[in-house]
Structure 1
């Protein structure tokens, strides 16, 4: 096994320029063995030690497919050479919409990357662990072989860890029993965090000062790590950008039905679940990933056909055995500080695909009653007899009797964002603040930089506002946008770097106003409004995100109200 681990990493080494493989590269020693890396530079030219492509679990292939992650074997007394990121996990990518080949990645994908600025040798640094987004279906920060960029955050005294985890059916398929219990991707995350806890000291990191950051599904994942016993004690605080475990798409219904449909697509029998699972383990990973699109009838809606599930207590390393709301209300959530927040145009993911396309918008208008349950994610939880009523209530509230066209497209973006991101977030912070003693804070980021994810999402040069994902990429860089285009952008970036790394370093975000935590006794939302460089204020709103509308509808999240024709 030791030799196999070294041989598996050899192709990564061969793909890297010679100057990165020189004898002067950094080397660290961990309980697993030595790791050799390379040097790079931060955005402002600071020297950085980089270790890319470190295995944190055994490859989830063969009989380990659909299983919980397994401990990686030590490679001592040798070293591994970690100078190129591992591949993303096999996935059906969502962006760009016009991509010719959508199946990317490899099944052998459980690798992480560690970046540390060169500081005085005695200084122990706090650690930020970044969990990528992508609706649990794909790696949101992956583009043409590029991943999350450490360039900006390495100008501060923190260590950054990034990693890949299983996504789509390979990461979240479930048969509703112990054969494939589900949540493989979430278990990968917990395993990676545990790896950091046990090994980061060798890199000069403080295992007692680990902060989780995540965007979208990564933000949901950060929150989920509070709810699982697998991760308690592994981190000190968390930050969820645009995502939390009470989002409607953060829990999956109809698991066996979906598993059987997937089996049919790839040519496996479905009558006996044991035989179905045995067959699914033999099918090519790319074939399984390609089937993802057959579960989204309108562009990428519903956005998470395969996602977190409630497992049975008898499952292998069960991640959660109750719905998130119940875990929090029972006082079982990990009691450490948590911050979450949103931007104005959250609904651009996944709404941009049809809201920015006149032909698609016209189709949505014509088929609204049929498609609204998928777009607003209530197909599985609201009885079929009430679908029309709920869809019409949402439509009338946001656009009245107007048609769905370019004049009302932005209101649909807001409706999608309020339902998929805002509603769950507001309910989550209220619930967490009621049952946890640690401070829970909420922010609203409205600064509109020169660049935005709205441009690649809509495939236009039109101004669609502050898009889903714009805010964290000022800190943790992305290949999809440039947050340093103008002097104002760079000023905003410097302040956000200080703000969020300050949270990881000191436990308190560095902002020029007192950031009041959420109180469960308050009827209105109290939040930090980030308007731009030097523009911070505490604001409040009794109906933020039209929450009165959304909470007046019984969506019964986490419960299955009979069979639905989502498939």
Structure 2
């Protein structure tokens, strides 16, 4: 993810953006998917302190049940073997890896994953050991969050309703992958859904996931796709967003949203699409000539586009998405998230304030799988 490279960009903006008419004291970080995970980490990193003043996180977060190790030596060694480099001593391995052409890495990239490009977060940030260098992460993100040593900036955070439906669809469409889950759910679920691979705890999690989402029903295509999509989405995106939201809201003002809008130009075109999925909002934020027309006032998407872009603009400008003087926003009262009511804005053809949190029953289930007390009890 180039997190230190991103810090260098933020420092360049701080030092030079005024030469281009920008304000170094009014910088908004905005990220989607892996970019959103990056934004969340910037909120927790000492290297990023003071370099931005608002944050927008869409459809990914750095918390949840993910592990932050001190290194990923096993991945380096795996790559070395694939490229016929020595794995020891480390200096020789690094020297050899640096000399390999870029296309050698491309050609072996699929083999770096355990199963069909899974887990999707194969490379993950690490908590760096102190060798006298600037460290992006100096401790586990949970520990930083618990201490409150975060960037105190307003945050907008949210999800799409059917985040990884298309991942689930294509996984079960593939006969080989579908059979893997039918025959060895306990083996493949931890790989795809990113929890510990073996042992009684892993087996127990797998059994609970199968019972809760599939409810004892056989895995079939297309019958099982919707429920399989829920566990795919919850494991990789929704629970992490939920956990980050609950913890960061103790320290900063947060606006939470759920994007439901199913337009004519969402990415997943098949009739089986139930609603908005991962990346769909971006089609209504940015001009994408290969994917969408140039929308006009007469298009059915126009009101959604106007509301989205104006809400995000207002937040990027002043840390509050509301503007009662704007004709498109005057009927929208987007409240801050509170731990009591867990308010969020549901964005569909109409925009409504909802309470009690996004996917609250599913998130309560995940809280039982990965209780916060057990995580923070390690520190």
Tell me the TM-score normalized by structure 2: 0.88
- What whole-Å deviation, never above 9, does each CA across 1:197-232 have from its counterpart, x for those lacking one? 222222222222111111011011111111111111
The question of whether the paired residues in 1 share the 8 Å contact of 2:267 and 2:279 is answered with yes
Alpha carbons of 1:388 and 1:466: their partners in 2 closer, same or farther (altered >3 Å)? Answer: same
Aligned pairs for 1:97-496 within 5 A: 136=1, 185-248=2-65, 251=68, 255-314=72-131, 316-348=133-165, 350-357=167-174, 360-379=177-196, 383-405=198-220, 406-434=222-250, 436=251, 438-455=252-269, 460=270, 462-478=272-288, 481-482=291-292, 484=295, 487-496=299-308
Q: Please give the root-mean-square deviation of Cα atoms over the aligned residues, in Å.
A: 2.7
Alpha carbons of 1:388 and 1:314: their partners in 2 closer, same or farther (altered >3 Å)? Answer: same
The question of whether the paired residues in 1 share the 8 Å contact of 2:7 and 2:47 is answered with yes
2-side partners of 1:545 and 1:291: how far apart? Answer: 41
1-side partners of 2:279 and 2:132: how far apart? Answer: 34
2-side partners of 1:260 and 1:280: how far apart? Answer: 10
Tell me the secondary structure at the aligned position of residue 227 of structure 1: coil
The question of whether the paired residues in 2 share the 8 Å contact of 1:303 and 1:350 is answered with no
2-side partners of 1:364 and 1:250: how far apart? Answer: 24
Aligned residues: 366
Paired residue for 1:99?
Answer: none
Shift of 1:536: 2.5
Aligned pairs for 1:498-513 within 5 A: 498-510=310-322, 511=329, 512-513=331-332
Alpha carbons of 1:352 and 1:196: their partners in 2 closer, same or farther (altered >3 Å)? Answer: farther
Alpha carbons of 1:432 and 1:449: their partners in 2 closer, same or farther (altered >3 Å)? Answer: same
- What whole-Å deviation, never above 9, does each CA across 1:439-468 have from its counterpart, x for those lacking one? 11211111111121223xxxx454242111
Q: Larger % of helix: which?
A: 2
Structure 1 unaligned residues grouped into runs of 5+ = 1-135, 137-184, 562-567
Paired residue for 1:515?
Answer: 334
Paired residue for 1:529?
Answer: 346
Tell me the secondary structure at the aligned position of residue 209 of structure 1: coil
Alpha carbons of 1:367 and 1:253: their partners in 2 closer, same or farther (altered >3 Å)? Answer: farther
- What whole-Å deviation, never above 9, does each CA across 1:111-133 have from its counterpart, x for those lacking one? xxxxxxxxxxxxxxxxxxxxxxx
The question of whether the paired residues in 2 share the 8 Å contact of 1:246 and 1:425 is answered with yes
Shift of 1:482: 2.5
- Is 2:352 the counterpart of 1:540? no
The question of whether the paired residues in 1 share the 8 Å contact of 2:186 and 2:206 is answered with yes
Alpha carbons of 1:274 and 1:288: their partners in 2 closer, same or farther (altered >3 Å)? Answer: same
The question of whether the paired residues in 2 share the 8 Å contact of 1:228 and 1:333 is answered with yes
The question of whether the paired residues in 2 share the 8 Å contact of 1:418 and 1:545 is answered with no
Tell me the secondary structure at the aligned position of residue 142 of structure 2: helix
Shift of 1:325: 1.1
Structure 2 unaligned residues grouped into runs of 5+ = 323-328
Query: Greater CA deviation, 538-547 or 204-213?
Result: 538-547
2-side partners of 1:254 and 1:454: how far apart? Answer: 36
Aligned pairs for 1:41-60 within 5 A: none
- What whole-Å deviation, never above 9, does each CA across 1:506-555 have from its counterpart, x for those lacking one? 321134333222234x2x532111122x4222332486260121111138
Paired residue for 1:552?
Answer: 368
Shift of 1:395: 1.2
Tell me the secondary structure at the aligned position of residue 186 of structure 2: helix
- What whole-Å deviation, never above 9, does each CA across 1:342-390 have from its counterpart, x for those lacking one? 111112364343134455434432332221011111135xx52332221
2-side partners of 1:238 and 1:345: how far apart? Answer: 23
2-side partners of 1:474 and 1:277: how far apart? Answer: 43
- What whole-Å deviation, never above 9, does each CA across 1:155-176 have from its counterpart, x for those lacking one? xxxxxxxxxxxxxxxxxxxxxx
The question of whether the paired residues in 2 share the 8 Å contact of 1:422 and 1:545 is answered with no
Shift of 1:476: 3.2
Paired residue for 2:325?
Answer: none
The question of whether the paired residues in 1 share the 8 Å contact of 2:213 and 2:228 is answered with yes
The question of whether the paired residues in 2 share the 8 Å contact of 1:252 and 1:558 is answered with no
Alpha carbons of 1:431 and 1:360: their partners in 2 closer, same or farther (altered >3 Å)? Answer: same
Query: Greater CA deviation, 367-376 or 473-482?
Result: 473-482
The question of whether the paired residues in 1 share the 8 Å contact of 2:182 and 2:218 is answered with yes
The question of whether the paired residues in 2 share the 8 Å contact of 1:323 and 1:558 is answered with no
2-side partners of 1:545 and 1:481: how far apart? Answer: 35
2-side partners of 1:315 and 1:285: how far apart? Answer: 30
